[in-house]
Amino acid sequence: MELLLNPVVISLVKVLVIILLFVMVVGTVLTLMERKWMSAVQDRIGPNRANIGSFRGRGTLHIAADGLKSIFKEDTVPEGANRFVFTIAPFFGFFSAIVIWAVIPFAGPLGGFTFQITDVNIGMLLVFAVTSLGVYGTVLAGWSSNNKFAVLGAARGTSQMLSYEIFLGLSLVGLFMIVGSVRVSDLVAYQNTYWFGDVLPKWGVLTQPVSCVLFFVAMLAEAKRLPFDAPEGESEIIAGYFLEYSGMRYAAFMLAEYVAIVGIGALTVTLFFGGYHVPWLHADGFHLLGAVLPLPAWLVVLLQLGAFIGKVLFFCWLVIILRWTVPRFRFDQIMALGWKRLLPVCLANVAVTALVLLAVDGWQ
């Protein structure tokens, strides 16, 4: 019993549950969801051939079929490639997409148990540091492949990701100024405070709407999702930086992309859409206009878990929709959008937020 109450054991259990039973499962299902949505947009059936006897499962068996194909497919290394770097490159992006979940809270505390792996005071700074590691996977995969198209894709990906990291950080400065902290639990707790008594929640999308849009766009560019997938432009550079990959190493690149989609949804929800909070729901029940509807603590936590997962799945769906409704930008357009449009808007948002905070402090 003492072993089960050990903080290290509890943290390991949280890692296994969050990563294996939520992030990996949702990321894997998104591979089918995207192809289904793509087929709907293109007015065709989509994946429906994988079967066990007469059972097809409306395409769900394609998830297992893809996994088996990746396991048994020949894993080749191109002539002249750096074998060691070529082997480890796919896992940089996968690692950076997974580690951000260490600081994401899924629900409020229940007794002494918290639904968060760790709550470090550097919070979002840790997220920025970890996500920046993804660029290493891109550049090393292209360079080690000994292929000019892969190198071109890596050059595109590196310049794009490094550029949009700047806008990613700047987009959140206004939010940090309002809350006064970069700790994730503080950012989430602030969004369960209210204007006009207990009427309008102070969600990040309401306090910093410009930051919300900038952050979401920058996250799409960081994940190299359409319309920012120039590093993988099949019609231009033949699949880009992972051109020479096959088998499980190729699958690692693909799975990392879909895990990153789940991460985009989780970070957007955590920072701008109340995190796990449900409007007017507090630890003891619903509060609105002075009335209180008491609820048991376990039910409050279940509602918070459901709200968080539902919000995350909505943004995963939104990211997939964007891929099949927005055309790809040219690479020069991507860079121009960042440096000539997003950077001035980010700086202006920080300046306006600072002036408003000064005015509010002076008025008080």
Section 83-111 average pLDDT = 86
The model carries a pTM of 0.91
Q: Is residue 24 part of a domain?
A: no
Using a pLDDT cut of 70, give the percent of the chain over it. Answer: 96
Gyration radius (Cα) of the chain, Å: 22
The tally of domains found in the chain comes to 1
Q: Is residue 61 part of a domain?
A: no
pLDDT confidence tier of residue 9, bands split at 50, 70 and 90: confident
pLDDT confidence tier of residue 237, bands split at 50, 70 and 90: low
Q: Is residue 204 over pLDDT 60?
A: yes
pLDDT of residue 241: 82
State the average pLDDT for the chain: 86
pLDDT of residue 13: 81
Q: How far apart are CA 286 and CA 278, in angstroms?
A: 9
Q: Is residue 90 part of a domain?
A: yes
| Alpha helices by DSSP H, 172-246 | 173-179, 184-190, 204-207, 209-222, 234-237
**For residue 227, cis peptide bond before it (omega within 30 degrees of 0):** yes
Q: Is residue 62 part of a domain?
A: no
Q: How far apart are CA 132 and CA 125, in angstroms?
A: 11
Residues spanned by the domain of 232: 76-363
For 362, residues 6+ apart whose C-beta sits below 8 A from its C-beta are: none
Q: Is residue 45 part of a domain?
A: no
Instruction: Decide: 108 and 301 in contact? Cβ < 8 Å.
Output: yes
- What are the strands of the beta sheet with 281-282, ordered from one edge? 281-282, 285-288, 291-294
pLDDT of residue 79: 86
Q: How far apart are CA 277 and CA 257, in angstroms?
A: 27
pLDDT of residue 189: 92
Structure tokens at 256: 């990392």
Least confident of 2-6, 178-182, 305-309: 2-6
Digit-coded pLDDT (tens) for 148-172: 888 888 888 888 888 888 888 999 9
pLDDT confidence tier of residue 23, bands split at 50, 70 and 90: confident
Instruction: Decide: 219 and 165 in contact? Cβ < 8 Å.
Output: no
Cα distances from 251 to residues 16, 29, 93, 149, 328, in angstroms, run 21, 14, 12, 20, 23
Instruction: Decide: 139 and 158 in contact? Cβ < 8 Å.
Output: yes
pLDDT of residue 248: 87
Digit-coded pLDDT (tens) for 106-130: 888 888 788 888 888 888 888 888 8
Structure tokens at 80: 């002249």
Q: Is residue 239 over pLDDT 70?
A: no
Q: Is residue 59 part of a domain?
A: no
Cα distances from 103 to residues 76, 117, 167, 284, 347, in angstroms, run 37, 6, 21, 25, 27
pLDDT confidence tier of residue 364, bands split at 50, 70 and 90: low
Q: Is residue 216 part of a domain?
A: yes
Give the pairing type, strands 194-195 and 285-288.
Answer: unpaired
Q: Is residue 4 part of a domain?
A: no
Q: How far apart are CA 79 and CA 89, in angstroms?
A: 17
Least confident of 54-68, 225-239, 321-335: 225-239
Cα distances from 227 to residues 37, 53, 252, 272, in angstroms, run 16, 40, 22, 22
pLDDT of residue 318: 92
Structure tokens at 309: 């997962």
